[in-house]
Amino acid sequence: MADNISDNRDDVVCRIVRRELDAAVVLRTEEVIGFLDHRPVFKGHVLLSPIQHVDTLLDLPPELMTPLLTAAQRVAASLGSALGCQGTFVAMNNVVSQSVPHVHVHVVPRTKGDGLRGFFWPRTKYADGELEAYAERIRSALRG
């Protein structure tokens, strides 16, 4: 599937797909793009979206469900070796709390005792140069 998003879509994900916005991309296939959240819950927090514009989970066509969840599984598996985390938190907001009108899956690295409780997601920031360093560690782990 090509980058078949509408010319009039101006959401952040579509702009990243079209390479109009910089992002620390960790994974790109024909169907899915994965990049670091610029306001992560924890450093290494990846957002995965279909390349094709899809507003919400309810709009996601069946043929994109498998590639999206397979990408989430791959990223979750890579974060342990890339970042030394003990597990991941995988989540998707649907309309309520969905800050970008383009369906996306959060894959958040977790470590026992990291302080994340329930659905309150405190955010952190990357230091200068740190975003790309985290992205490279994850890309390297994804390459195997």
Question: Is 106 known to be catalytic?
Answer: no
Lookup: tokens for 32? 């899915």
User: Which listed residue (45, 53, 104, 106) is catalytic?
Assistant: 104
Residue 34 to residue 106: CA distance in whole angstroms: 10
**CB count, 10 Å around CB of 73?**
13
Angle at 42 between CA 136 and CA 58, to 5 degrees: 90
Dihedral sign (CA 41, 9, 7, 92) = positive
Question: Cα-flanking dihedrals φ and ψ of residue 2, to 5°?
Answer: -80, 180
Spatial CA neighbour of 42 closest among 9, 91, 1: 91
Residue 28 to residue 17: CA distance in whole angstroms: 9
Q: Please identify every residue annotated as catalytic.
A: 104
